[in-house]
Amino acid sequence: MLQSPIDRIASATPPAVAARVKGLSDRAIAWLFVAPSIVLLLAINIFPLIWTIRLSFTNFRVNRPNAQVEFVGLRNYINILTDSDIWLSMQATAHFLIWTIVLQVLIGFSLAYLINKKFRGNDLWTTIIVLPMMLSPAVVGNFWTFLYQPQIGLFNYVVGFLTGSDPSSFSMIANTSLAPWAIIIVDTWMWTPFVMLICLAGLRSIPPSIYEAAECDRASKWRQFWTITIPMVLPFLMLAVLFRGIENFKMFDLVVQLTGGGPGSITELTSINLKRAAFEQWRTGYASAYAVILFVTVFGLASIYVKALNKVKQR
């Protein structure tokens, strides 16, 4: 059963129980139960957000307690949006986002398709495949720098073994054209199972009767795949893409540990860029404006996408 967040919200409320209740009224209990969560989120999410917006119009710096804090209007925003380095960082993020999604969808869907052939032991292997997904990206990312070492690293050794090239002849992390792929490979290794699981749920939701009907109509397997399988799985796939998109837009831990944004600034995703501005240069006001820009981007893109997702589902 598939429900998008929007659907879940819109789903019908269970019928209210008649007011023959002793003790606290339902209304009171409802408030009592919801309020603590809302208060905590207001305190730790909304209040900081408002504070960030306010700071974004100032030149405040955490490491200069004695300096005068001035209101600088839109200067921080203008500086950020006209800074070519930040645009490069956005590009790096987009490259990472697009390729991880493409690869994870392709591999994840294929795996789900194969697992859905229900060979013996498919449950066991599914569980094994899923393991990397739940692990700490920082710890795993750190270890991948070891696997990526030229010569002694497992990755280079295996690639060298398979292609016959010298394992010390290339360095995934050092080379400017390979580094963006180094982070994509690790993210794909970790998160393909996520897409796979969702696709598998999609495939299993297709009633066999539809295929049986198609078979009666003598539709080829190829045609069945494109006219039944893909359209039925598409909403699931789009949901997976939404999750991966939001997660990888926020990407920080894995890449920081893998490349630290290097070489040069080739893999400096926006979160890393922002972290440097906020917690290394301590340009708090400037970094706040940067944070606001990122919020707006992710919310904007996500809501456009959710609209598209709903359209697909209504078809």
Interacting residues with another protein between 274 and 303 (CB under 8 A)? 274-276, 278-284, 287-288, 290-292, 294-295, 298-299, 302
CA distances to 163, 270, 312 from 64, in Å:
55, 25, 52
Residues between 33 and 62 with contacts to another protein, criterion CB under 8 A: 33-34, 36-38, 40-41, 43-45, 47-49, 51-52, 55, 59, 62
CA distances to 9, 125, 126, 203 from 121, in Å:
37, 7, 9, 18
Q: How far is the CB of 309 from another protein (least distance, A)?
A: 11
Identity at 86, one-letter amino acid code: I
The answer to whether residue 228 forms part of the interface with another protein (CB under 8 A) is no
The answer to whether residue 198 forms part of the interface with another protein (CB under 8 A) is yes
**Cβ partners under 8 Å of residue 78, min gap 6:** none
* DSSP codes of every residue in 223-252: HHIIIIIHHHHHHHHHHHHHHHHHHHHS--
Q: For residues 86, 92, 93 and 97, what is the CA-based torsion angle, rounded to 10 degrees?
A: 160
Residues between 130 and 189 with contacts to another protein, criterion CB under 8 A: 130-140, 142-144, 146-147, 149-154, 157, 167-171, 173-176, 189
The answer to whether residue 261 forms part of the interface with another protein (CB under 8 A) is yes
The answer to whether residue 305 forms part of the interface with another protein (CB under 8 A) is no
Show the site string, 77-96: x = touches another protein by CB under 8 A, - = not.
--------x-----------
Answer for the pair 234, 173: CB distance below 8 angstroms, yes or no. no
Q: How far is the CB of 31 from another protein (least distance, A)?
A: 8
Residues between 206 and 225 with contacts to another protein, criterion CB under 8 A: 208, 211-212, 215
Answer for the pair 115, 108: CB distance below 8 angstroms, yes or no. no
Q: How far is the CB of 1 from another protein (least distance, A)?
A: 5
Q: How far is the CB of 223 from another protein (least distance, A)?
A: 14
Nearest-angstrom CA–CA distance, 217 and 219: 5
Q: How far is the CB of 95 from another protein (least distance, A)?
A: 15
Position among 105, 115, 184, 237 found at the interface with another protein (CB under 8 A) = 115
- Nearer residue to another protein within complex by CB, 216 or 311: 216
Distance in angstroms between the alpha carbons of the first and the last residue of the chain:
17
